[in-house]
Structure 1
Amino acid sequence: MVSLCAGQGRDLLEVLADHPRRDDVRARLVELDPGNTAVARESGVAGVDVVTADASLTDHYLDMAPADLVLVCGVFGNITDDDIHRTVGYCTGLCRTGGTVVWTRHRRDEPDLVPTICEWFEEVGFEREWVSSPALDFGVGVHRFAGEPRPLVAGERMFTFVGYDHLREN
């Protein structure tokens, strides 16, 4: 399992804390903010590697990919549309055949990009499992990979994190 821009790891660590199979999990959480990674490390869940680094670089996932579960939560609202599209493409190397990508994107801007992101995933071999209601101000998508994973190449940048405030200004 890999998590890009994992923050404090709450997407995974709180679920694993009391789970009977938590010792079976092998995960990598990559986050640039050392304060967040310090909190994530405090969880002490065995098998979870917390890395303080630039989550956009493929290097941090080479030995973990392809994974059963890929979390791209809190990323798509902070990068350009072109970078979202590019990152979706990289998910074909991050995710194993039959594996799942869970992603998020706000719905505050017009047009709502969530349907387009779904199309981008489907164009590269993912099948839509579930997407949150358009009535909500946030989108959550779950896509299962039906294709063959492509190898990740070292030294590549999947996206540039620019932040939502910067995107709104441009």
Structure 2
Amino acid sequence: MDWQKWHDRYDAPESPLAWRLGVVQDRVRAALDAAPPGPLRVVSLCAGQGRDLLGVLPTHPRREDVRARLVERDPANVATARRTAAALGLPGVEAVTGDAALLDHYADLVPAHLVLLCGVFGNITDADIERTVEACTQLCAPGARVIWTRHRKAPDQVPRICGWFENRGFVREWITPGDRVQSVTVHRFTATPAPLQRGTRVFDFVGYDRLTRTSRQPGPDGRTVRAAGGATP
């Protein structure tokens, strides 16, 4: 997959991803507006080119308060994020090439005030989604917001993911209408942060296309059954 070229979809006005990006940026803006005074810590997992945050921060009054880390495996997208942050005069934004599933990447920036999980949950298994939600209790400061995305294609897992968050001390603060294929949700953390479990890897980035191909396979009687591991398209 050419992930840098994949980001071109965000530039097509009719693209569902362009719509989703606009919604995410609105929620990022609102989260920064509502954040407490003083330094603000932001972490973004599988950050791509960093458009979720970099599309908001330059004109936001809290721009000087923000220290952010964008973790992304694709080096070309990381290079794009670094160039953009530098061009926009945002020295507090750091783009890192690495596996975003490794909690060690966030050790000096958590608990954070804002956690971005955009474009993640549609590309990992259900079990890994739940593990990532659990990890958010380590990444979030009290009152922190998690902005996350997930498609609503059948079977719609958004309600189930909401339940995983809400069983762990998160309160649902905002969600897109259920008739939109691309869903954006904001959860606010109301509990006490758990200690960061360094050395932990919380998910494998499988990819939506691969999940779609492998989530169902023929059973002994020729019927289609769900594959082991609970992968969901």
Asked if Structure 1 and Structure 2 have the same fold, meaning a TM-score greater than 0.5 normalized by the shorter chain, the answer is yes
Shift of 1:31: 0.3
Superposition map of 1:84-163 within 5 A:
84-108=129-153, 110-163=154-207
- Percent identical: 62
Question: What is aligned with 2:35?
Answer: none
1:90-135 Cα shifts (integer Å, max 9, x gaps): 0000011100000000112x22000100000000000000111110
Highest RCO, 1 vs 2 (Cα 8 Å, sep ≥ 6): 1
Shift of 1:20: 3.1
> What is the TM-score when the length of structure 1 is the normalising length?
0.97
1:169 maps to 2:210:
no
1:2-45 Cα shifts (integer Å, max 9, x gaps): 00000000000111122233111111100000110111101211
Ranges in structure 2 where 5+ consecutive residues have no aligned partner: 1-41, 215-233
User: SS state of the match for residue 95, structure 2?
Assistant: strand
Ranges in structure 1 where 5+ consecutive residues have no aligned partner: none
- The correspondence for 1:5, drawn from 46, 49, 64, is 46
Report how many residues are paired: 169
- Paired letter, 1:100: R
Shift of 1:153: 1.2
- The correspondence for 2:70, drawn from 29, 44, 49, is 29
Q: Which aligned segments of 4 or more residues in structure 1 are displaced greater than 6 angstroms?
A: none
Report which of the two has the higher share of helix: 2
> What is the TM-score when the length of structure 2 is the normalising length?
0.71
Question: What is aligned with 2:101?
Answer: 56
